Amino acid sequence: MFKHIKNLIQKIKDKIDELHTIDIEDVLYPIDGGNMKKRAGYIIAGCRDNMPRRDAAIALGINPKELKEIEKGLKTPNKALVIKMAKLYKVPIKSIWEYAV
């Protein structure tokens, strides 16, 4: 998953260099086909960074299997869980909120 995020970041950088502007849909749509649950999963997994899924799930008070389902876009986190994720991963709530809820 981390490799996927690195590739995504590289595509974004390439697009910025090419156009000097960026439309996030141009970068993300080929990857997730516009599926917002899948996109939210990628973003949440990217925010987790190098923290092991098991440790993150325990800190969030959920089962590691549930976190895996969220990161694969099979399940949508509730608002309270999104807030916990933002605090745990030390990212702005908006970075997860706009895709996940």
pLDDT in tens, 41-60: 888 888 888 899 999 999 99
Give phi and psi for 20, each to the nearest 5. Answer: 60, 10
43 contacts: CB under 8 Å, gap ≥ 6: 95, 96, 99, 100
Cα 10 from Cα 27, distance rounded (Å): 10
| CATH number, position 8 | 1.10.260.40
Say how many domains are in the chain: 1
Does 79 have pLDDT greater than 60? Answer: yes
Q: What is the pLDDT of residue 72?
A: 87
User: 76: domain range?
Assistant: 2-100
Confidence label for 25 from pLDDT (cuts 50, 70 and 90): low
